[in-house]
Amino acid sequence: MQFRPRRHRHLQRRDLEVNGDAVSLTCLCEGEKGVIANAFGGYGLTRRLAEMGLTPGVEVTLLRKCPFRGPLEVEVRGVSLALGYGVASKVFVKPLKVKPNG
């Protein structure tokens, strides 16, 4: 019995649409900042993210990551938001370079 190979069309589409320097929000470390590039999801998810203020071009700061794929706390426009791991994995950001002091 042979199985058909799985085709991950959604992953291939993401790779084409996301620039090489954009990473998922879950890949940032605590305290790191980034600018939202885009979000992948259905109409309902993108609308909910936009209502929370997570739109392209907005700067976000990752405040806290819970262990074992728990929720993430981010700061957007001076407001702290908690996002589930699944939702946060669909938000792609361009990490900002940290400028050294002095």
- Give tens-digit pLDDT for 19-46: 568 999 999 999 999 999 999 989 999 9
Cα–Cα distance, 44 to 63 (Å, whole number): 25
Which pTM value belongs to this model? 0.76
* Strand 59-65, strand 79-83: pairing: unpaired
**Coil, helix or strand at residue 20:** coil
Say whether pLDDT at 15 is over 90.
Answer: no
Answer with the residue of higher pLDDT: 71 or 16.
71
For β-strands 59-65 and 72-76, DSSP reports them as antiparallel
Q: Where are the domains of the chain?
A: 9-95
pLDDT of residue 10: 45
Give the separation between CA 39 and CA 47, rounded to whole angstroms: 10
The domain 9-95 having CATH identifier 3.30.420.40: the answer here is no
CB atoms closer than 10 angstroms to residue 90 = 19
Banded model confidence at residue 101, pLDDT cuts 50, 70, 90: low
Q: How far is CA 56 from the centre of its chain?
A: 11
CA quadruple 26, 32, 35, 39: dihedral, nearest 10 = 10
pLDDT on residue 86: 94
**Chain segment 64-97, per-residue pLDDT in tens:** 999 899 999 999 999 999 999 999 999 999 999 8
Residue 57 pLDDT > 70, yes or no?
A: yes
Instruction: Tell me which of 6-15, 52-61, 89-98 is least confident.
Output: 6-15
